[in-house]
Structure formats: structure tokens, C-alpha cells
Amino acid sequence: MSAYKFLLAPRWIAITLVCLFMLPAFQALSNWQWHRLSDRQIYNVQIQEQIDKAPVLIEEVVTATGDVKVVPDHSQWRTVEMTGVWLQSDQVLVRKKSLESDLGLWVVTPLKLTDGTIVMVNRGWTAAANSAIDSPVVADVPIGTIEVLGRLREVIPRTKPGPTDLPDGQVDRIIPLEIVDSPETLTNAYVEMTASRPESKSADIRTLPAPEVTEGAHRSYALQWMFFEIMTVIGWVILVRNELKEQRRVTLS
């Protein structure tokens, strides 16, 4: 064992402590990625279950809770059908939305259903104007009764006050009651339009893609951190062996 006395030297104590610190850190990072993979798989199953369901009339899922209209929490990504008229005058553009790395805005137009319910409809993405204070010109929607097919998306409530210096007609996020303050407004969800009749999407508006049902890179990242953990042990062993060889060489010389 005397050959390993060098491990008690301050330099080797520091090297060993660093390795011992890195091992649980790498293991924790690997576990974190495995947990994220598990969460993503569960989320993917939930999305796919909703996508696979047959379209339903939105009136069948909207309920009145007190003075507000809502949909159940489990309605995210459910395909719904709606019939109503566009409220062009209440249309807004949602800032800082990217599509395929291009910066632009969402075009959100309220739809008043035949039963009076008002639903925010994200008609798609449009490119940004030349400056942040300008709004792109978007073609008007058709007049008269419209049939819309789309995916329900949940509304994330604000946790702090919204900006007050945005250009007229622009918002930072979809908060239905901030767009149309009415007891008839669906408050906790909006619809991501996939089709309409007559066509309500002009050439300057691109349809938003369907949700991406993939596992992402979590598995590879988890294996990567495990690899780093193994390589740390191997690296420490190699350093020790090299030190032993160097000591023997010095002794023999």
C-alpha cells in the first residue's frame, strides 16, 4: 500500500475530491433527464389521446362556472367545431411569436358563437413588420356565418401586470377577458384554428403546426451524463496508474 501514499498528497486529495463531487452531480443530472423523459412520455400520451378523439361541438364542453364560461382542464388539444361570426373590430396581434425561427405575431380574432359565447381564435402566424412599433397589415375576415375547426389550448393566467406601452392592437399574450371583457367570453381557453369554411386565413397568415409528439433529446442527455460519470471513474483510475508508472520509472532510474 505504500505505493499509494501519493494519494494523501494535497494535489491528489483535491483531484479525488473533485471526482467524488462530480459523480453524484452527473448522476443527479442523469436522473433529472430520465424524469423529464418520463414526464414527456406521459404528456405525449395525453396529447395523442386528445388528438385521436373525434371532433366535438365546443358548446358540448363549455360550462358556466359562476359568472364565467370555461372548459374542463383536461380539454387541452381537443379538436372542436364552432359556428359563429367573426368580431373583426376586436382582433388583436400577439407579439413575439416565432415560427420556424422567424419572428412574427399571432392573429387572434374573437368568434361569437350562435349561442352567444365568445371564443378567442388564433387564426395563425404572420410575419412581423419592419419595426416593433408597427403592426403588419392583415386581410379582413369574411363577413357572415363561419364554420371553424381547431384545437383547444389552455390560457395561462397572468402572475404580474401586463405591459402598458404596446402599440394599438397588439398584446403580449392571449388573455380572453383582456381582449373582450364580457360574461360571454370563454376565459380559460382559446382555439388554435386548423380549418374554416369559408376560408378565413389569407396568404399572409400561416397555420400553426400540430403539437410535436416526440420524446425530445432527454434519453440521449441522460445517457450522456451517465457516460460522463463512468469516464470520471475511468479517468481517475488512469491518472493513478500513470502516477504509479512514473514512480516506478523514477525508482528504477
Q: Calculate the dihedral angle through the C-alpha atoms of 68, 71, 73, 75, rounding to the nearest 10 degrees.
A: -160
Instruction: Match 451517465 to its residue by C-alpha cell.
Output: 226
Mean pLDDT across the chain, nearest whole number? 91
| 81-85, 114-118, 128-132, 213-217, range with the lowest pLDDT | 128-132
Q: What value, to the nearest 5°, has the Cα angle with vertex 31 and ends 29 and 32?
A: 60
DSSP strand pairing (79-86 vs 146-154): antiparallel
pLDDT of residue 130 exceeding 80, the answer is no
Residue 219 pLDDT? 92
Span 210-217, mean pLDDT? 82
Span 74-94, mean pLDDT? 95
- pLDDT greater at residue 22 or residue 100: 22
C-alpha grid cell for residue 190? 382559446
Residue 131 pLDDT? 74
The model's pTM is: 0.77
pLDDT digits (tens, 9 = 90+) for 26-79: 999 999 999 999 988 888 888 888 888 999 999 999 998 888 999 998 889 999
pLDDT of residue 253 exceeding 70, the answer is no
